[in-house]
Chain A
């Protein structure tokens, strides 16, 4: 589903963010991306989202070579990837329902389809009752659930979560993890960048660790830190 072959990324200012990255994430995988801040996790995600282009190497997404694509193709590539952020990024002047529907309007979905899909997805994230609430009436966990609903409403094959539990208390963080696990079980590939040691250790999923721009570990059913 996601494949990096010998990928290097050096920013224009000379900072080498990633070097010789090789990784392959299959369809339906659940992968944690761990490592200290500034190790290159964000850059890796930006490469998948085509916010940045690699300096060398090749990147594949959904069996497409996305290494070099024209700017006007980028939006269509992004439709294959749902994204969830630490800071939720909801629109404050839209209701929960509208925030989710917005993602469908952008890609030109039929209104009938929107009316059908949005309630279904809100049901999945357990927010049916809050459909008409505005973001400032929601708790942090609810915010993130709306963001997840928005990320998956267009059925992307890949979901990227960039520290989705970073702003949440432990109990709420676990709710979100369960939700991500459910989404993954339905066949969506999930790539989650995180610092949450307990979550990574408990989930027993594949762990890719990056340090100073290099993959230092890639193991199935891994834990957050090296065992010494």
Chain B
């Protein structure tokens, strides 16, 4: 088990800076998830921690020891790769025991450790197989088993579920969560899937363009996103961001000018002056019941899932809006509908949040 501290960590590839000074504290035994769209630098950040890439600037401390130049094999870290990266010429048992055999651990002890990890992951009957004889899910479990056998202080997962089908993804996700409870080890997990992030993490780190946007517990990020990017990224389906005009900002309250939203007074947040702004409304907070604050548009898509119905509408300004309504709701296409929401359920962001 280990603590991890990143201070101003930077990485550039041939002059292009992809990690632009990341500060982060990861506590012993914490499950931290890096999320962000592709190209945000989350995998690079993980590889910097793993020691697979050289850190260009800043400092990485593992358990209080500066580890920038420590080779990855001496960092006490195990990593589960997106592609599994199993050694194709070795059996499952040999794959899992590879690290121990390099350490010249006695054969009996290797066998015991491998069997122990295999039992946790229900792989006992596959130990003599080669990776090519395994299914995707089994390969994934072997890759996790290989990490467990090393008894690392930190586990790194690089999008480990992205090659699995939906059912298997959910099952493996549950297994990883259980593994974290059982081993109580520090785990860092990279994904672009915010559902994985919300369900697994003690702490989520949202990245965009090599910069940390927000760090916090899943529900904290869901309830109080610090900017429009985090608001749009955390939550499924994504939060609606309506383009609105702020007419006045007084005592931390902003007043809007949109038809249907004339009476809306919301906490101004980081909006300090009248002008363009973004109003964040979660799809689940919209209802078809008439209310004081309303948005209207034409229905473009109705997705009936059973327990809930997702309705997309196009607003007058051409942007679209999603509403998730409980139960099965029948709604004709191209009809005009109005959704209402409570003023406690919205957040205001500066329009500049979505520029760049």
A and B are partners in one complex rather than unrelated chains: no
Which residue numbers of B lie inside 8 Å of A, CB to CB?
Answer: none
Which residue numbers of A lie inside 8 Å of B, CB to CB?
Answer: none
